Each structure stands twice: as structure tokens, then as C-alpha cells.
Amino acid sequence: MSASTEVTERHRLSIGLTVRHCMTLTGRNLLHLKAHPGTLIGFAVVQPLMVIALLVYVFGGAISGSTEDYLQYALPGLIVQMTVFSVLAFGTGLNEDIANGVFDRLRSLPIARIAPLVGHLVGNTLQIVAGMVMLLLVGMAQGFDIRTGLLATIGALALATIFATGLAWLSMLVGLVAKTATTVHLFSGVLMFPLTFGSNVFVKTETMPGWLATWADVNPISHVTSALRGLMTEGSVGSSVWWTLGWTAAMTAVFAPLAIQAYRRRV
């Protein structure tokens, strides 16, 4: 191996250059929004309006007696639901990029091998943050009242983002091991419903049957939702923040190594 090749390999493996490659591919993922503005409009504008219109104004009166009261209860949960739904779509996009040869073309470039995977994760996470902010703004325009202040609200969105990164490793693992994007999509749909509907996103757990309430109480989505409600409206979070961080750490510790290993085998 020549001296120039050794220098190139050493630089490719340096932390600084790897981070730069990851950020470059993060920008590539975000540029898709510029090429397809309809995706951004649908995700950041239309979807929040539909979520509030269909869930709050259809069910709010029946559940809480008034849509105003239900909006105050449900919006933090709707932010979590939107986040989970978007995160579970990570695997579908990753699977499609691999199947279409995008990662093969990137692998032929002199970049860090992990950069495409990290760029996919960070780019999609930033889109989710934009979606959370838009859903919150739409909710505020409809009458949602933040009672705890700006810093607590920023903390709530940051906590939801942290949880999203932990769950994203599971989604990406499925996207890497599945043969087709359809399989990933079906798995995501099956996983999303027990996670979101079997939680306190829409109703209080004490109104559920005993067996379902037991599941809802340990469901990580319930802990995230309780933390967001406390940080945005109630001012008291109890142990929900620590449960959320614990679930995030556990998912990352289990699924991140498996996803990276599957990525190395696949790509």
C-alpha cells in the first residue's frame, strides 16, 4: 500500500471526516424536500390539520364533553403519535434506497461507510422535528394552551426527538433485514396500532379494561405522552421523563448494534 493510500485511509477513518460525511448525506436527505415540495406541504401542513380535525373534532366531544378540553388533553399525545408513525416509516425509505442502488452508488465514493446510515437517521429526524413544531403551532391556532412556558415546551419536543432516535433503530433494523418495502410497511402498521392505541394518547388508562390498562401503563408511548403533557400543560412529570429516557437507552442499546451489523451485511 502506498503512502498516499495510507493517508487517505487514515483520514477516511478519522472522527472529524466521518462527521462531515454524515452531515453531507444528511443534507442530501433534506434536499429531497426541495425537489418534492409536495411532501413537505403534506407532512408539515396538511397532516397536522387532518390529525386535529379528524381526531379532536370528531371524538373530542364524545370523550371529554368539549373539543376544547379534549384538544388540551390530546395534542401532546397526537405529537407523540405523529412522531411514532413517521419514525416507523424510516425503515421503508431505507429499504427503498438500498433496493434502488442508492447505497451502492454512495459506497463507491470515498466516504465513511456508516455515513449513509447516519445521514438517513439525522435527515429524517430533522423532518420529524419540523412536523412536531407544525402540529404544535396548528394546535395552538385551534386553542391549545401551553401553561408551562417556552423552555418546558422546548424540553418536551427535545424529549420526543430523543425517543424517536431510539425507536428509529428498530425501524431501520426492519428496513435492513426485510426483502421488500411492502414488508417493512406492513410491519410498521402492525406495530404502530398496539403502541399508539394501547396507550394514554387518546384516553386515560383508568377508563380501559384491566388487562389493557396494565399494558398501557408499561407502554413506552404512554410514558412519552405523560412526559409531554406534564412539560406542556400540567407542570408535573413524575417519573415519566426517566421512563422515557430509560426506554430510549434500552432500544438504542439493543437495536443500534443489530441495525449496524445488518447494514454492514447488506451494504
Q: What pLDDT does 11 receive?
A: 45
d(CA 49, CA 135) in angstroms, rounded, equals 8
Kindly give the confidence (pLDDT) of every residue in the chain, 267 residues in length, as a single tens digit, with 9 standing for 90 and above. 444 443 444 444 577 878 888 888 788 777 766 666 655 565 556 766 777 777 788 888 788 788 888 899 989 999 998 888 888 888 888 888 888 887 777 777 777 788 888 888 888 888 889 889 988 998 898 889 998 989 999 999 999 999 999 999 999 999 999 888 888 888 887 888 888 888 999 888 888 898 999 999 999 999 999 999 999 997 778 899 999 999 999 999 999 999 999 988 877
Letter string b/e over residues 131-162, b meaning 16 or more CB atoms within 10 A of that residue's CB: bbebbbebbeebebebebeeebbebbbebbeb
Residue 265 buriedness (CB in 10 A; 0-12 / 13-18 / 19+): exposed
Q: What pLDDT does 45 receive?
A: 61
Q: What's 202's DSSP letter?
A: S
Q: Give the domain ranges of the chain.
A: 3-266
d(CA 252, CA 256) in angstroms, rounded, equals 5
Q: What's 206's DSSP letter?
A: G
pTM reported for the whole predicted model: 0.85
Q: What pLDDT does 3 receive?
A: 41
d(CA 221, CA 160) in angstroms, rounded, equals 10
d(CA 50, CA 85) in angstroms, rounded, equals 14
Contacts of residue 77, defined as CB under 8 A and 6 or more positions apart, other chains included, come to: 199, 200, 201, 202, 225, 228, 229
Nearest to 124 by CA among 75, 76, 175: 175
Query: What is each CA distance from 74 to 60, 104, 143, 157, 224, in whole angstroms?
Result: 9, 43, 12, 15, 13
Q: In which region does residue 143 sit, left (phi positive, over 0), alpha (psi from -120 to 50) or beta (all else)?
A: left
Nearest to 17 by CA among 120, 114, 121, 104: 114
Q: Are 190 and 37 in contact (CB under 8 A)?
A: no
Letter string b/e over residues 33-70, b meaning 16 or more CB atoms within 10 A of that residue's CB: beeeeeebeebbeebbeebbeebbeeebeebbeebeeb
The residue type of 83 is T
Q: What pLDDT does 8 receive?
A: 45
The residue type of 233 is T
Q: What pLDDT does 40 receive?
A: 59
d(CA 95, CA 173) in angstroms, rounded, equals 10
Contacts of residue 103, defined as CB under 8 A and 6 or more positions apart, other chains included, come to: 97, 116, 267
